[in-house]
Structure 1
């Protein structure tokens, strides 16, 4: 045990006390390991972060199940929009002290006051938010706590209302908050995207981590040879090498945890694709964090020992500078083949989305992507083996690659695997995008530019809403419209049609000859086959209890199809009628009366002025802003797809930066390790420019080969993954070209950054020996 401790102590001293060279190697290794550790800890924190957001959303969800001893809280939820940002508005009224209090506040706000999220309070106080303040005239009584706002930048307002809220048509009695846990159902296709994204983002991190622990391997071996000269045994030397690698790994682990903590502290100020988190949310899963803490030192030691497997360290030198034996292709293709088999098998008869299915898909994708850095050294070796001639810089680069292709493969392997994963993920995203095209959420984002909006007032506020909108700058008119319910006799099914004013039809849908009692189909909408011109329908009255009663017969006139203007932003689609003509007068009683508001499309503040004008009505009117509850489960899938796509893009940016860092760190180590041969070449008369170009070729050639492998692997992986869902393969070649160009530019930038270090390495002082 004493001998072991002595060997470990020598390794520690060599790592941190061996002069400037050892210090440089120690810093580079520490930085590389620290970056990888920080990324892995962030990855281990994704699930708790999402869970914390879900917990806050669950805590704010109302429960309408009656409970003894509790007077229900009158609750009405709606939303609005200001300058492209959604604002969740909840009107509340507490009859007495037993009513539940929403999370994040001390008490239910009284009438005329409101509690708002921190970002909404800041937005209301900004000088350019006068129209928003007019929309929310209530006094700000407090700022919601973290438990009441799922995202730090969410805009949320709880507005106090009067006793009349209890009788509102959309008012819900709430007896508690957060008693029902929200259950997320994830479509197998979305789960497939997540699995592919996780694999594509994390495999490069492990590649970089393994490469960082092998920095300066050749120089370390020369120093170990010196230890053999003074009497150290072969096993003792290997223990010293393990201790030397362990020091950098532990130091990188400590620094990586520090970087992770810094990242947590600045998380609220970072908004990526509209998503941000609280620092307290970013907590890694304990067993994943423990696995990272234990795996990094173990990986460092195993990598160091693996690098020495074919190295003979003798007292007078290291048998390493001779040409290495040819690499065996069998096991490399076996890894890739096994990954393909797992993706083709995908759990056998297991259900899509099951645990076995997920493990099989994830393992297959991991092996296929890991095949990129595994196959790259073999391809580089075989590709450069027979190359001869060319300029001096080209000959220097090719000769170096012929002697040692493994180092260059490690340098560009991380970039190649990022490229392969990005191509696969992008191809799958493109193939799935059609399923989620033209979602209501995307339509709603253009509502602020629409020449048309709809508002839904309570029955006693219809005329007043029209009066409030009369004369508002930017509002061309406000017209009431009815919702008529009719029944198809053949099927007994009921449908609803909006009866619009011709002024709305003319202004919004550009129909110059609008006539009364006409039926219009917007945007080629689909509707029941029995709904055709000349068919007779039964118009239905809606009884107070919600029961339908036939009132009159009506024959469908000719149906006119009109295009839906791209800039309309309106939620109207399908079929609608115009008043008059053959429709009975008065119309049957309706379930909803709508006020259609025609806006001036050239006035960017027209919509905000209309909202501000309706502010005195408070909860008694809401607009056609996007309502997530209206669109149901399909929208949940669409939002999940958009969230996953954003997350993958964010992760790809981080991993691309990590690949750039790894390329730079290993290129600098490459220069530092060869500074003496470079200085000899410079002293022999080789121009520095030729040496710089040779280093560029040493990166460019492996990158070019890596790009070819990455493109093939990425497309193959995308095809296998899409096969699981029986989806066709769409290769987004412009994106592939862009990502390939990014890899080439990354290699060029790294070469440019290394030029100052190359000049330092070619000085004659580098020929001195200690």
Structure 2
């Protein structure tokens, strides 16, 4: 066979797809929509690495406060930067106060002109928030006049809240906390990326495989839309003289045409979705449309792989079909599906993963090829097993109502079609269950207890240097929603003014505050105590001796400070230490304010702790506003009982975003597939209605036709997902424990998606169940 004949046959298939009348282009359109949805998600996936790289580069380009040692002196090209960030309703607001020291002071990325005192430049999202009623409380904290917006190159996301405000009097505070002097923006000491934790890398690999495998399954199912009508057209070709090989090449051309149109649709869907992504925030993350540029090489791979896969799937689908001049031999009883080769894929996947069982993070990085191959084979094994299970079960289903019998008979005749419809949802649920088990199993390794007792304290405010502690407590106590306030001034003393060998903690507060950290026998102003039983306080008893001279802020060879001498009071009492709200038993000296000299009082720093009335809406915002009036750079700390690794949280967030996209794809693809199935059966439904079958019976039969394979698919997905999850946990050297809540929730989500698709398909079904559907031309 020469290439010219091949080209003619393929071209004929393309003409059948687009010039075969209404049936031809409807099938091509359905195929293109199904393939297009998958292609759009594949293009989105190929754009993720670029989006992450751009976010990282823009974050690095605006780096200013590095908390590193600096010897930069004031000049006409220097800028003093202070951290003025805050939080608003669990959202971070990145803020900087800028004080130029010369006409050539650097500009932050995305800012055309430095704001003056009383002015600020804000991100578009922050501007919208401040101008809305929802941002009223934040506006009280940021009263400066808005004189401009930050450009895209200065932000890491379209919904990021950020601002630059004019500052003054910042120079004396340089290198004191979050205030620094710079002559350019950007990380002055870029370092190479750290080696990622092997288990986190494993999570990333599994997430990508689990999210992309359902996409591939849906694309494979989409190119088989309208298979029965296509085969009848091919039979007509045989009748006019074509041979079997020619008909298969024509089918390949038709599949390629649908896939090519799907690439066009997918590109359009991707471009539309990319624009929508610029105005959406998911789990705290947002991007600009320009971030989502697929890698040219990966986009080319998608453009080549999708049509190639369409041809391969089509040829595979025709392997069991005998296309003869007088019809398609597929209506006879098909041969039973074989089980042995369907078990080979999941078993091979298990074997690949088993080689890494028990490795954990101490065994080095997991072999990424074995991980990807093993997980993919296990998930694809679900798609191979499901048709056999559906066929075996429906063959044994017996009598029932009319709707049940119609559904069961239809499934017995075309169990493969029913299985293809639910393959994608089964793979997605199986992967989600496995991932949830893995995340739940290793979460404890990336979650630490802070020790903070959130039942006693919900927020903490730092007292600025030179501001009286009592003044801060009084203002915070008068804040709406604050139930109780207590606080301390804290510091350390040493046995010598220079190069001290022994240290102990000093806690200064009123009697009510001191009772939060120790069991006081009695207390009045002027008393002094030594805490007993404190943790990590080996030198407290030695230094806390009446009449002994100790030194606040003793200097060291690395840091020259001005030590303050202070004499331990004579009337020192003992007080057993108790756990403070941070979960720590503190030792050292406990003093009431008048027990400390005025000079020594300047050597301690204050912290105020708040108990809130959580029933008051936005109570934390009221506290932040009060703190901002005390110190414009204050950012009160919200207490939490646990804290989780940022990398682990980012991966889990990525999973939720990806899973959301896949669920949308699942729903859309299932709906397209359901509509295609109904279109195929239009005349049959019309015939049944014409003979008096009630529409409610037909509707219920369609529901049963969906429910039976879905139920079997979800059951198989649960088993497969738990098996994969157990293997992944064993690979990370984590005890295997089934997270039944995750299993049930993921199964329920899958069932809910199918139920929603079924309900959406009812209106078209009712329109198809009309006697005039028997008309033909």
Q: Secondary structure at the match of 1:309?
A: helix
Could you tell me how far apart the structure 1 residues matched to 2:300 and 2:210 are?
22
Q: Secondary structure at the match of 2:97?
A: strand
Give the deviation of 1:204 after TM superposition. Answer: 0.4
Conserved? CA contact 2:505–2:589, under 8 Å: no
Deviations 1:103-124 (A, max 9, x none): 2213443444332222223333
Could you tell me how far apart the structure 1 residues matched to 2:441 and 2:521 are?
40
Equivalent in the alignment of 1:567: none
Q: Does 2:157 correspond to 1:151?
A: yes
Structure-to-structure mapping, 1:371-382, within 5 angstroms: 371-382=381-392
Equivalent in the alignment of 1:663: 670
Could you tell me how far apart the structure 2 residues matched to 1:19 and 1:467 are?
81
Give the deviation of 1:327 after TM superposition. Answer: 1.9
Q: Does 2:634 correspond to 1:622?
A: yes
Q: Does 2:578 correspond to 1:561?
A: yes
Q: Out of 634, 642, 657, which is 2:649 matched to?
A: 642
Structure-to-structure mapping, 1:369-768, within 5 angstroms: 369-437=379-447, 453-459=460-466, 461-462=467-468, 466=472, 469=475, 474=480, 481-485=488-492, 498-504=507-513, 528=535, 541-543=552-554, 545-546=559-560, 557-561=574-578, 564=581, 575=586, 579-580=590-591, 585-586=596-597, 592-596=604-608, 601=613, 608=621, 611-612=624-625, 615=628, 622-625=634-637, 638-768=645-775
Q: Does 2:238 correspond to 1:228?
A: yes
Conserved? CA contact 2:360–2:733, under 8 Å: no
Could you tell me how far apart the structure 2 residues matched to 1:292 and 1:556 are?
77
Sort the Cα spacing of 1:126 and 1:438 in 2 relative to 1 into closer, same or farther, 3 A: farther
Equivalent in the alignment of 1:90: 96
Aligned residues: CA RMSD: 4.2
Equivalent in the alignment of 2:11: 9
Q: Does 2:182 correspond to 1:174?
A: yes
Equivalent in the alignment of 1:263: 273
Sort the Cα spacing of 1:611 and 1:381 in 2 relative to 1 into closer, same or farther, 3 A: closer
Could you tell me how far apart the structure 1 residues matched to 2:518 and 2:126 are?
35
Question: Unaligned regions of 5+ residues in structure 1, if any?
Answer: 565-570
Could you tell me how far apart the structure 2 residues matched to 1:505 and 1:551 are?
20
Could you tell me how far apart the structure 2 residues matched to 1:303 and 1:424 are?
28
Sort the Cα spacing of 1:56 and 1:244 in 2 relative to 1 into closer, same or farther, 3 A: same
Between 1:29-38 and 1:379-388, the stretch displaced more is 379-388
Between 1:746-755 and 1:242-251, the stretch displaced more is 746-755
Conserved? CA contact 1:483–1:590, under 8 Å: no
Could you tell me how far apart the structure 1 residues matched to 2:135 and 2:63 are?
29
In the superposition, the TM-score normalised over structure 2's length comes to 0.85
Could you tell me how far apart the structure 2 residues matched to 1:301 and 1:409 are?
20
Give the deviation of 1:95 after TM superposition. Answer: 1.5
Could you tell me how far apart the structure 2 residues matched to 1:561 and 1:368 are?
54
Sort the Cα spacing of 1:615 and 1:703 in 2 relative to 1 into closer, same or farther, 3 A: closer
Give the deviation of 1:256 after TM superposition. Answer: 1.0
Q: How many residues align?
A: 749
Conserved? CA contact 1:532–1:559, under 8 Å: no
Q: Secondary structure at the match of 1:120?
A: helix
Between 1:584-593 and 1:305-314, the stretch displaced more is 584-593
In the superposition, the TM-score normalised over structure 1's length comes to 0.85
Conserved? CA contact 1:78–1:89, under 8 Å: yes
Deviations 1:123-164 (A, max 9, x none): 333356455344334443432222222222222222322354
Conserved? CA contact 1:384–1:401, under 8 Å: yes
Question: Unaligned regions of 5+ residues in structure 2, if any?
Answer: none
Could you tell me how far apart the structure 2 residues matched to 1:311 and 1:220 are?
12
Could you tell me how far apart the structure 2 residues matched to 1:255 and 1:218 are?
24
Give the deviation of 1:667 after TM superposition. Answer: 2.3
Structure-to-structure mapping, 1:112-127, within 5 angstroms: 112-127=118-133
Q: Secondary structure at the match of 2:660?
A: helix
Deviations 1:241-290 (A, max 9, x none): 11111111111111110111111112222111121111111111221111
Give the deviation of 1:638 after TM superposition. Answer: 1.7
Sort the Cα spacing of 1:610 and 1:563 in 2 relative to 1 into closer, same or farther, 3 A: closer
Conserved? CA contact 2:537–2:587, under 8 Å: no
Equivalent in the alignment of 1:251: 261
Give the deviation of 1:527 after TM superposition. Answer: 7.6
Q: Does 2:55 correspond to 1:53?
A: yes
Conserved? CA contact 2:494–2:553, under 8 Å: no
Structure-to-structure mapping, 1:277-292, within 5 angstroms: 277-292=287-302
Conserved? CA contact 1:350–1:357, under 8 Å: no
Q: Secondary structure at the match of 1:386?
A: coil
Equivalent in the alignment of 1:568: none
Q: Does 2:89 correspond to 1:77?
A: no
Between 1:683-692 and 1:217-226, the stretch displaced more is 683-692
Could you tell me how far apart the structure 2 residues matched to 1:30 and 1:334 are?
32
Q: Secondary structure at the match of 2:634?
A: strand
Deviations 1:184-214 (A, max 9, x none): 5532222222222211111000000000000
Could you tell me how far apart the structure 2 residues matched to 1:500 and 1:384 are?
77
Sort the Cα spacing of 1:548 and 1:320 in 2 relative to 1 into closer, same or farther, 3 A: farther
Sort the Cα spacing of 1:733 and 1:234 in 2 relative to 1 into closer, same or farther, 3 A: same
Conserved? CA contact 2:460–2:610, under 8 Å: yes
Sort the Cα spacing of 1:540 and 1:185 in 2 relative to 1 into closer, same or farther, 3 A: farther
Conserved? CA contact 2:506–2:590, under 8 Å: no
Could you tell me how far apart the structure 1 residues matched to 2:476 and 2:231 are?
86
Sort the Cα spacing of 1:463 and 1:716 in 2 relative to 1 into closer, same or farther, 3 A: closer
Conserved? CA contact 1:472–1:610, under 8 Å: no
Give the deviation of 1:33 after TM superposition. Answer: 0.7
Could you tell me how far apart the structure 2 residues matched to 1:415 and 1:609 are?
46
Conserved? CA contact 1:66–1:175, under 8 Å: no
Could you tell me how far apart the structure 2 residues matched to 1:540 and 1:221 are?
93
Conserved? CA contact 1:692–1:755, under 8 Å: yes
Deviations 1:332-370 (A, max 9, x none): 211101111121113998987977622222221111111
Could you tell me how far apart the structure 2 residues matched to 1:650 and 1:514 are?
56
Give the deviation of 1:680 after TM superposition. Answer: 4.1
Structure-to-structure mapping, 1:337-352, within 5 angstroms: 337-346=347-356
Sort the Cα spacing of 1:57 and 1:318 in 2 relative to 1 into closer, same or farther, 3 A: same
Could you tell me how far apart the structure 1 residues matched to 2:469 and 2:768 are?
83
Q: Out of 23, 26, 40, which is 1:24 matched to?
A: 26
Between 1:110-119 and 1:606-615, the stretch displaced more is 606-615
Give the deviation of 1:508 after TM superposition. Answer: 11
Sort the Cα spacing of 1:341 and 1:101 in 2 relative to 1 into closer, same or farther, 3 A: same
Could you tell me how far apart the structure 1 residues matched to 2:669 and 2:530 are?
64
Between 1:534-543 and 1:56-65, the stretch displaced more is 534-543
Conserved? CA contact 1:534–1:557, under 8 Å: no
Could you tell me how far apart the structure 1 residues matched to 2:41 and 2:319 are?
30
Give the deviation of 1:454 after TM superposition. Answer: 1.6
Could you tell me how far apart the structure 1 residues matched to 2:279 and 2:27 are?
34
